[in-house]
Amino acid sequence: MRHVVIGTAGHVDHGKTSLVYALTGVKTDRLPEERRRGITIELGFAPWHVADDVTASIIDAPGHRRLVHHMIAGASGIDLVLLVVAGDEGVMPQTREHTAACRLLGVRKAVVAVTKVDRGDRELAELAAAETEDMLADHGIENAATILCSAHSGEGIDDLRARVRREVMDLPLPDRNRRVRLSVDRVFSVKGTGTVVTGTLIEGELKVGQPLRIVGPHRTLEATTRNLQVHGEDRASVRAPTRLAVNLGGVHRDEVTRGDVVTDDAFARPQRVLDVWLQSFEPLKRGRDASVFVGTTRSTAKIQPVEKTDALTEGGMARLRLTEPLVVVGGDRFVLRGSRVDGPRGAVIGGGRVLDASPPNRRAAKREAVLHAIDDEDVEATTLALIEEVAPRSLKKRDLRSRLLLGAEPLAAEAKRLAKEKRVQVVERNAWTTAENLEALTATAVALVDAHQRQAPLDPGLPKSTLRERLTALSDAEVAEAVLQHAVGQGRMIDAREHVHTPSFRGAQADAEAAHALAHARDALAGARWQGLTENAFKVRLDIPAKRVRAVLAALVREGAAVTAGGIWFDAEAVAELEAAIVAHLRVHEVLTIAAMKDLSGLGRKQVIPLLEHFDQKKLTLRAGSDRRRGPAFPPETID
């Protein structure tokens, strides 16, 4: 069974609603004012059993010029347009405007119903049909079938139904693996049921019980699917395209509004800047304001051509800066309207499709290359252009989801292929950069390490964390880690656990001043033994700046020549002797008191307490009040 969405279009009072009634038996004018005035004000909906294997949802759109925004909302997501032209009047302003809007929204199939043929001259109706076909051809809709008919007499209705069926069967099958998306056009409450939204399901498959997101301009809500209805019939699951009513659980009626997007897409979000391919019906100067219509919502936007031009004359790449954010994903179609209602296309001044729904603020030349590749739907060129554009940062698959006209999956697959061919570099799973960027940052990293070695020869190298931080500031965390691994893998850096250094690094041995300071410090420590020395005492003895003193002391600790405790540095050999004395004491005595420690070492409290804490940290001793007992690391007795 094929299911499609058909939208009516045409000038006011050309008989759209009457024709829908003749085809379906459903009166789509549901509002009292619509019935009183005899014109459609809001979108109307009707099921249509076109044939045994074809069902359709008809969206009946208003034809009045003041209600074109409703017509555009209804046309979003339709598969085929039923263009209605009165045989006694022919093409009128809203005929042209509706046709332009449908073409801009991606509708490629049209069936023309020339109505009211029972009221006027048959030759006049045929002229109206020819005029309509010419207008459609101007919009790129060729070979549209034209049926002369009358909703009143029934003439031509069977022919119209047969032609619609033929056009429907020629439509491509929808992709069943797409995300769920429905743009809300009505919200209401049903007693005992809760919040209900209606709209056209343009993508995906929706099932009862499925979790959903309700995404609006300024907030996102979590909801569940309580029930689904298609034209009043309960369904367990529904596939696009179709008209649909969704009973939402977990949200209140007042939290949802027209224009919200119902989706299962975790990456759909409101956007304020869009890069688009824009077809213009009149010159659009840089900085011009226009109304942008996407789905069932709209915003004002400022138009900025991407190319270096003051105006778009027929079409080109443009950036739209929105006053109010809209929930948009790559590939969405939009319509632009200005303030004029005269002219050959009414107030529709252009439109097109979204190439990048979340564009970076990049140089125009690179951006233009990316957009042309996307518009051409060239996966290889787009992948390469995107990777080049974001350098020195990496291109990440997660940043592509729902953003571009081309999907994240084919772009990621292409990046992996290019990586196998060594045309791009993998920086981590699903993140890529250029070989030139990786090499340039590797050279920068080596230079940073080398500079640090010259400035701090007593250090074991540059801390990895510092190098990562500096590289991340120049690129991103993924590229920084890849640069580090690349440099080490090439042998341009040596991985020394928490530090990195160059292969030629010799530390203090290559710096006479540093070597002298280390030797002097070792002598000072050996002379002080258990008394130890503070940092200030070292500064006085070595007569070097405080920063250099700290580097010397750190080097002594790393090489095992010194032990630090409580801000005092002790000679490591002397501390080992004291440790042996403590072990011997605790083999004989149950506890080691502070007084006993003073007797063993001849030290005062200033040194005793830090040393005891040092042995506690080694788990040689275990604190019990102010005394010490044998700790978990106390050596067992040996039997000779």
Q: Give tens-digit pLDDT for 263-296.
A: 999 999 999 999 999 999 889 999 999 999 999 9
Q: Alpha-carbon distance 391 to 408, whole Å?
A: 18
Rounded Cα distance between 618 and 113, Å, is 92
Question: pLDDT of 421-460, one tens digit each?
Answer: 999 999 999 999 999 999 999 999 999 999 988 877 778 8
Q: pLDDT digit string (tens) for 148-202?
A: 999 999 999 999 999 999 999 888 888 777 899 999 999 999 988 899 999 999 9
345, pLDDT greater than 60: no
Going through 310-347 in order, the beta strands assigned E by DSSP cover 311-312, 315-327, 333-337
Query: Residue 95's closest CA among 352, 345, 351, 341?
Result: 345
Q: What is the pLDDT of residues 303-321, one digit of tens each?
A: 999 988 888 888 899 999 9
Q: Average pLDDT over the chain, rounded to whole?
A: 89
Tell me: the pLDDT tens digits for 388-418? 999 999 999 999 999 999 999 999 999 999 9
Contacts of 162 (CB under 8 A, 6+ apart): none
Q: Which of the 8 DSSP states describes residue 152? A: T
> 134: part of which helix (H) or strand (E)?
helix 122-138
Q: What's residue 38's pLDDT?
A: 67
Q: What is the pLDDT of residue 437?
A: 96
The pLDDT of residue 343 is 46
Give 26-57 pLDDT, tens digit per residue: 988 776 776 666 667 778 899 999 888 889 99
Question: How far, in Å, are 281, 568, 593, 625 from residue 596 at the CA level?
Answer: 98, 21, 5, 15
27 is written with which tokens?
């009166």
